[in-house]
């Protein structure tokens, strides 16, 4: 019997001591106990090709020597933690690199432990800088689990409370497949969203709004992709009112979209601040915000971060970022992402259970619908997860109606692995489509 004998027993223990709202994938959840490259092994010895990477977090993959060696060297030093009350060399080096890569003038960086905490920091800075508690956010958005981050999340499925420390107004712009502007051309869609933004500012706010925060591609919302240039056009309106633009790059950063290093760059605009997390640490807990120096320095009260930018996370993250840049993984994401998207679109033409295949680079959404060809089908998405798992492929799920399968492999994915994953997805989609018609 394997050393990790019973996933069922572990599941019962999980349910006994952890919250019932802590979601688990699959009818029979798995425990991942080892990994190498783009593959992981569960406690029963079953191997999977990983196309979700711990929710886009294991961006380089598993068991990467350069990253492990950097973490091991820091562990061997005996210093696992000091806090931001002391100088941390790797924190400074990493901040210098991110500031340079951001393109933001006179940029400064503050490190946190997660994307949620990074977005909280962005809201604090923006509201303080502008002396306003008003925030604009996009419909279908997701920005985190904590109080203020949940308050700017435009997705009912992830909004556990209606209470918020900020006053939020929601604008259009996230989801092209559904909504009142769904049938519009790119140009008309952008024009309609900009007009909506202006009206929301004039009708629902006092004008002195702190910021607009937006995901260039909505992650939890189902990898929805607005037309290029949307946020550039929106910023023209924001600038009229002095409203800051914050780009939530927690899922779109570090070259994952292929065509750009940051998702917001597709819109021809430099934001006032960007938040980041996930792929930077390749599994280590790290997030942060990079912003204009005057914005970052606007706080007058004392503030530190006990764990943010700690020696372990920044050593590993600096190694991961160096690896990503040295290997030009952004170009790899562009090449293999196009291959997967084109292949899946060919498959969708034969199987009407797939209403849409969208994305950029290695950030791809497959929207699933019922037999009528339009109604969202969470059941079909759940079935596709089970079908891919049974064939040895791990994928994710999301969307406002939980009917979108999300693909986000490590950026080190090979062409052979992309073909293998596409073949599994093709077989799995065919099976779900057949069931959908029954």
What are the pLDDT digits (tens) for 319-351? 999 999 999 999 999 999 999 999 999 999 999
pLDDT band at residue 251 under the 50/70/90 scheme: very high
Task: Write down the pTM of the prediction.
Answer: 0.96
CB contact at 8 A, 111 and 349: no
pLDDT at 1: 40
Whether the pLDDT of residue 95 is over 80: the answer is yes
Query: If you write DSSP's letter for every residue of 289-344 in order, what string do you get?
Result: EEEEHHHHTT--S----SSTT-HHHHHHHHHHHHHHHHTTHHHHHHHHHHHHHHHH
Class of domain 7-51+328-437 as given by CATH: alpha beta
pLDDT value, residue 156: 84
- Strand partners of residue 34: 41
Question: Which of the four pLDDT bands, split at 50, 70 and 90, describes residue 438?
Answer: confident
Residue 5 pLDDT greater than 70, yes or no: no
Q: What is the pLDDT at residue 4?
A: 54
Instruction: Return the residue matching tokens 């890569």.
Output: 101
Distance CA 120, CA 11 (A): 32
Domain with CATH 3.40.640.10 in the chain: 68-326
pLDDT, tens digit (0-9, with 9 covering 90-100), for 384-419: 999 999 999 999 999 999 999 999 999 999 999 999
Q: Which of 353, 333, 355 is nearest to 407 (CA)?
A: 333
358 in helix, strand or coil? strand
CATH topology of domain 68-326: 3.40.640
Indicate the average pLDDT of the chain.
96
The pLDDT tens digits for 273-324 are 999 999 999 999 999 999 999 999 999 999 999 999 999 999 999 999 999 9
What are phi and psi for residue 29, nearest 5 degrees? Answer: -60, 150
Reported as a pLDDT band with limits 50, 70 and 90, residue 158 is: confident
Alpha-carbon distance of 48 to 30, in angstroms, equals 11
Weakest-pLDDT range from 14-28, 151-165, 266-280? 151-165
Q: Residue 3 — very low, low, confident or very high, per pLDDT cuts 50/70/90? A: low
The CA-based angle 375-145-37, given to 5 degrees, is: 80
Asked if residues 322 and 330 have their Cβ atoms less than 8 Å apart, the reply is no
For CATH 3.90.1150.10, list the domain ranges present in the chain.
Answer: 7-51+328-437
What are the two backbone dihedrals, phi and then psi, of residue 211, each rounded to the nearest 5 degrees? -160, 165
pLDDT score of 307: 95
- Write phi, then psi, for 285 (nearest 5 degrees): -75, 105
Strands (E) across 5-151 are located at 32-36, 39-42, 47-50, 107-112, 134-138
pLDDT tens profile 44-94: 999 999 999 999 999 999 999 999 999 999 999 999 999 999 999 999 999
């Amino acid at each position: 019997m394997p050393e990790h004998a019973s996933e069922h027993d572990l599941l019962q223990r999980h349910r006994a001591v952890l919250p019932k709202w802590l979601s688990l994938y699959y009818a029979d959840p798995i425990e991942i106990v080892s990994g190498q490259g783009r593959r992981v092994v569960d406690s029963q010895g079953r191997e999977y090709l990983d196309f979700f990477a711990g929710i886009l977090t294991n961006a380089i993959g598993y068991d990467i020597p350069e990253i492990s060696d950097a973490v091991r060297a820091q562990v061997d030093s005996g210093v696992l933690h000091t806090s931001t009350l002391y100088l941390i060399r790797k924190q400074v080096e990493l901040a210098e690199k991110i500031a340079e890569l951001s393109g933001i003038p006179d940029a400064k960086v503050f490190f946190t432990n997660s994307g949620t905490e990074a977005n909280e920091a962005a809201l604090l800075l923006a509201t303080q800088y502008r002396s306003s508690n008003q925030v604009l956010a996009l419909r279908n958005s997701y920005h985190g689990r904590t109080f203020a981050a949940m308050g700017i999340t435009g997705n009912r499925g992830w909004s556990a409370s209606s209470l918020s420390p900020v006053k939020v107004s929601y604008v259009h712009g996230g989801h092209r497949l559904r909504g009142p502007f769904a049938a519009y051309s790119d140009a008309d869609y952008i024009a309609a969203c900009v007009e909506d933004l202006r009206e929301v500012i004039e009708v629902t706010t006092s004008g002195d709004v702190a910021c607009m925060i937006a995901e260039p591609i909505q992650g939890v919302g189902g990898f929805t992709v607005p037309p290029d240039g949307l946020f550039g056009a929106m910023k023209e309106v924001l600038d009229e009112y002095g409203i800051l633009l914050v780009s939530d790059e927690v899922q779109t950063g570090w070259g994952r979209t292929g065509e750009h290093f940051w998702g917001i760059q597709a819109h021809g605009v430099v934001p006032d601040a960007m938040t980041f997390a996930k792929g930077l640490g390749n599994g280590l807990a790290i997030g942060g915000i990079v912003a204009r120096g005057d914005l970052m320095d606007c706080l007058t009260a004392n503030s530190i971060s006990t764990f943010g930018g700690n020696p372990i996370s920044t050593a590993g993250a600096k190694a991961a970022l160096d690896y990503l840049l040295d290997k030009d993984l952004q170009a790899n994401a562009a090449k293999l992402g196009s291959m997967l998207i084109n292949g899946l679109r060919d498959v969708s033409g034969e199987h009407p259970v797939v209403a849409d295949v969208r994305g950029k680079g290695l950030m791809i959404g497959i929207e699933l619908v019922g037999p009528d060809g339009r109604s969202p089908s969470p059941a079909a998405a759940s079935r596709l997860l089970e079908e891919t798992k049974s064939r040895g492929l791990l994928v994710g799920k999301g969307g406002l109606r939980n009917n979108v399968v999300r693909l986000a492999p490590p950026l080190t994915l090979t062409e052979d692995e992309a073909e293998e994953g596409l073949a599994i997805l093709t077989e799995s989609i065919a099976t779900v489509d057949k069931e959908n018609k029954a």
